[in-house]
Structure 1
Amino acid sequence: MADTAVPILMYHAVAAEPNDATRALSVTPEAFARQMAVLAGLGFTPLGTADLAARWRAGRPLPGRPVLITFDDGYEGVHRHALPVLAEHGFPATLFVTTGWLRGPYDTGGAPDTMLDWDQVRELAGAGVEIGGHSHSHPQLDQVSDEVLRFELIHGREIVGDRLGTPPASFAYPYGYSSRRVRRAVRETGYAQALAVGNDLARRRQGPYALRRVTVRRGTGIEAFERMVQGRAIARTFAGDRALTKGYAVVRRARRAGRIAAGAM
């Protein structure tokens, strides 16, 4: 079976006036609507995360021009602005929620902007949006102890299961950071697949726990978006991001090794 390259789009906030903490990784409602119109006009077929992974796992064919639309964290604008556009086009999507940031009984007070509440999450799920896990408090999972890692994965998954009636099958790593230890814990916790970042197209050979995504930002123009979803000039577009990611990965590994040696983990 051909190793089809699939663009997995990573969104965060959809907001006209985001705060400073979320501005760079937000898109305006108008930009999001234009981007979804581009997907429809180019004949893309959006899939859910669990659907894509299940097809690849079973060796089943993908539809023509597959694409995934994903949102991280759980910002209120996903319900207010993105859902009507998705419904207009009949597009499925995946929302990865940080359970300790959502408004309601589990709110830890650490959210960077206005978040969804659980009624809105249920409405999104009822409208065909897959709800995935994104930890409980959004730490860098490759830097925390085994105990904290397990808590973040298990507590977040249990909360989603309690609130929606079904535990999430898909996970997205906070900040995109993972390691072999983190990926193993995600699998053992019960998630069937997980998304990283990587700013590249996703391929079956990446494995179900390291599927790559491309970042859609406030500065992503419509021509750049068209090139991105068609897999053109991705390496050039994200060259700076990739260099920073590789460099920071070395720093994070050294930091964790230092904490282990000092007995802090």
Structure 2
Amino acid sequence: MEPSGTHIPASRRRRPPRWFAVTAAAIAFVAVFGGIGMAIWFAASNANAPDAAASPSATPEQTPTPTPTPLTPQEELLAQANDPAACVVTFTGEAVESAVPMLHTQGVLYAGLPIPAADGRVFAGWYSSEADAAALAIPGRVNGADLVTCVDQQITLHSAWMSPEENAAADAGIPILMYHQFTDRPEGLAPDHPDHWLKGNYAYIGDFDAHMNHIATTGFYLPTWDELAAFIDGRLYLPDHSVIITDDDAHPTWTELAVPIVNAKGLITTSFMITAYTQSPAPSPFVLGRSHTHDMHQAGANGKGRMVNWTADEIAADLETSAGVLGVKEVIAYPFGHYNDTAKQGVAQAGFELARTIEPGEVRIGTDKLALPVVRIDYGMGLDSLVNRIG
């Protein structure tokens, strides 16, 4: 070994053997030209291979988009409503092809239920089940006196029919009860009451409560006004155990004393309103506001009501104003019960189909629609008096 730092002449440095240089050169040649060859082969292979993007086997099989199932008419109505309280009413049974599904709101009275027609037959109403329809069962009959209730936002009503002969044989008489004002004094108005001269109009509220309880618990059917009109025409059957409840004037005692009873018992009633004086909204979902004229509840030139003093055009104009306030044309009550042919002409001209008088009686098939009779309720008429009149 040479001492550290000793310079070794170039002639004495050790060189690698010749075979090592040859081998290294050979390895380098193979590495360079072999890599080039592999690259050329790989490129050629890829050029001859099918385009992966274009190959059907390179992607999953495409699934056609399914065609959506068309919505039923009921589903379309619910989709349009987009309301959890919405309820679609479907009609089924004989001869109801024209009765298309209707959208209603749960907890609200039915409105505008169709009254279908068929040659030689009388419609006998809508029922909540096929069995009720076959039996004409009053508890199962559904109309605008009932609140809408349904399951899964849908309900089906079933039709019933009868012959004209069967309808005539039923010989139903429909009473329209007429109340006015109310008092909470069993003995009636006090002698010094300013309305004492009208004391006969003031029904004792205890009697009214007994009347309503009797109607609510003994299976009465409560027709709507459009049903009454169809009954008069002979197109619709109404059971003899039917009654219509009305109040004249919408007096404060009606709202304060009577309406809470009506509401608690769920009985549909009609309040005939003088719209020049009263324009309040209905105090209960069971109270229908209808016209007692706009401003004809006053004496005319001859001391009788304006209804029998004005021309048909003037009467029609007044009733148009009243209808504009109430939002409905259907039935009116003649002020003071006064009417004549001119009054009837004005009522019809204004587009009302029915008019109620104060003449005693019951509505039957063929009754004059513009002269409906009533059962008047006065002070002192207890439950026995009502039962004697309506059963």
TM-score normalised by length of structure 2: 0.49
| Structure with the largest fraction of helix | 1
| Within-5 A mapping of 1:51-200 | 51-57=227-233, 59-63=235-239, 65-102=241-278, 118-119=279-280, 122-124=281-283, 127-135=285-293, 136-139=295-298, 140-141=305-306, 143-146=308-311, 150-162=313-325, 164=326, 166-200=327-361
Q: Is 2:358–2:374's contact at 8 Å kept on the other side of the alignment?
A: yes
Give the match's secondary structure for 1:60. Answer: coil
The one-letter amino acid paired with 2:263 is: A
1:128 Cα offset (Å): 3.1
Q: 1:157 to 1:27 in 2, by over 3 A?
A: farther
Q: Is 2:234–2:366's contact at 8 Å kept on the other side of the alignment?
A: no
Q: Is 2:296–2:335's contact at 8 Å kept on the other side of the alignment?
A: no
Percent sequence identity is 23
Q: Is 2:181–2:254's contact at 8 Å kept on the other side of the alignment?
A: yes
Q: Is 1:170–1:191's contact at 8 Å kept on the other side of the alignment?
A: yes
1:123 Cα offset (Å): 3.0
1:63 Cα offset (Å): 4.2
1:87 Cα offset (Å): 1.8
Q: Is 1:94–1:130's contact at 8 Å kept on the other side of the alignment?
A: yes
Q: 1:137 to 1:177 in 2, by over 3 A?
A: closer
Q: Does 1:7 align with 2:175?
A: yes
Structure 2: gaps (5+ residues):
1-166, 299-304
1:218 Cα offset (Å): 0.6
Match of 2:203 among 13, 17, 27: 27
Give the match's secondary structure for 1:206. Answer: coil
The one-letter amino acid paired with 1:61 is: Y
Q: 1:58 to 1:130 in 2, by over 3 A?
A: farther
Q: Is 1:13–1:22's contact at 8 Å kept on the other side of the alignment?
A: no
CA distance, structure 1, for counterparts of residue 371 and residue 199 of structure 2: 27
Q: Is 2:274–2:291's contact at 8 Å kept on the other side of the alignment?
A: yes
Deviations 1:66-107 (A, max 9, x none): 1000111111122222222112222111111112332xxxxx
CA distance, structure 2, for counterparts of residue 51 and residue 93 of structure 1: 14
TM-score normalised by length of structure 1: 0.70
1:173 Cα offset (Å): 0.9
Alignment partner, residue 227 of structure 1:
388
The one-letter amino acid paired with 1:123 is: A
CA distance, structure 2, for counterparts of residue 138 and residue 211 of structure 1: 18
Pairwise CA RMSD: 2.3
CA distance, structure 2, for counterparts of residue 155 and residue 185 of structure 1: 9
Alignment partner, residue 206 of structure 1:
367
Give the match's secondary structure for 1:81. Answer: helix
Q: 1:58 to 1:64 in 2, by over 3 A?
A: closer
Q: 1:159 to 1:7 in 2, by over 3 A?
A: closer
Give the match's secondary structure for 2:271. Answer: strand
Give the match's secondary structure for 1:45. Answer: coil
Give the match's secondary structure for 1:69. Answer: strand
Q: Which has the larger radius of gyration?
A: 2
Give the match's secondary structure for 2:369. Answer: coil
Deviations 1:139-194 (A, max 9, x none): 42453131xx64354334424423x4x13311111122211221121111111111
Q: 1:155 to 1:184 in 2, by over 3 A?
A: closer
- Is the deviation greater in 15-24 or in 197-206? 15-24
Q: 1:199 to 1:228 in 2, by over 3 A?
A: same
Alignment partner, residue 37 of structure 1:
213
The one-letter amino acid paired with 1:22 is: L
CA distance, structure 2, for counterparts of residue 129 and residue 222 of structure 1: 22
1:55 Cα offset (Å): 4.1
Deviations 1:14-72 (A, max 9, x none): 23257324321111221111111122233212233343224434611224611000111
